[in-house]
Amino acid sequence: MAVHTYSYFVIAAVIAARLDKATRIARHLSITASNARALAFRAGEGASGFRPLTDYIHRLADLTVSSSSRINHLASELSRTAAEKERAERALRHFVDVGKCAKGSPFIDSLQPVFDRTSQRQRELRDSYNNQIKLLTSELDTLEGELRAAGVLATMSRVEALQADGVYQQALNNVADNVESVTASIKKHIQSSQKLVQQLTQEFS
């Protein structure tokens, strides 16, 4: 159990670190969207189709920041639940050992109410842990689904950039390249976290 608990906290720390990186990358995406909006405005009518895309880039960045923050919070909650769950299970094992050693003692029955309360608490923590795992998985899956559209967004951005004058065309293409690169980096952290959550499920199910 100690090995599993240590492994869990290492995994939880890695998930939190990767989601923190995803959040910081998403903030850069938001800056990219702001720069792209200003650039499209300066490019004039030829880049009018690019402007709505900057709104979507902003929305994607905001969604990633808020989702990553929620997932980070969930990972922290899960860490605390696992620690309490481990303490409750360790206490139950201790009660069982005491019961075996003190079998026949006139006072052994006085421990039963405490044992029952600890057992109930352990069941509650186990259920909370399983629910938190499901919620964390759902949040990661939802964010990954939103990021799947990023490739289409980058392609549409390149198409719209072709409509702009030559002086702005390269700059708008750079925006598209940046969107593609940034979202790919975010997806990498999300998918890595999904694999780690699956590992947690296998270790603690």
At residue 138, the pLDDT reads 92
Reduced to 3 states, what is the DSSP secondary structure of residue 107?
A: coil
Looking at residue 139, its amino acid is E
CB 153 within 8 A of CB 56: yes
Q: Tokens for 47?
A: 């880049």
**Cβ burial 135-155 (10 Å sphere, 16+ → b, else e):** ebbebbeebbebbeebeebbe
Q: Tokens for 12?
A: 């939880």
Q: What is the mean pLDDT of each run of 10 residues along the chain (205 residues)?
A: 54 80 82 81 76 81 84 82 83 80 71 83 89 90 83 80 77 83 87 86 63
At residue 129, the pLDDT reads 85
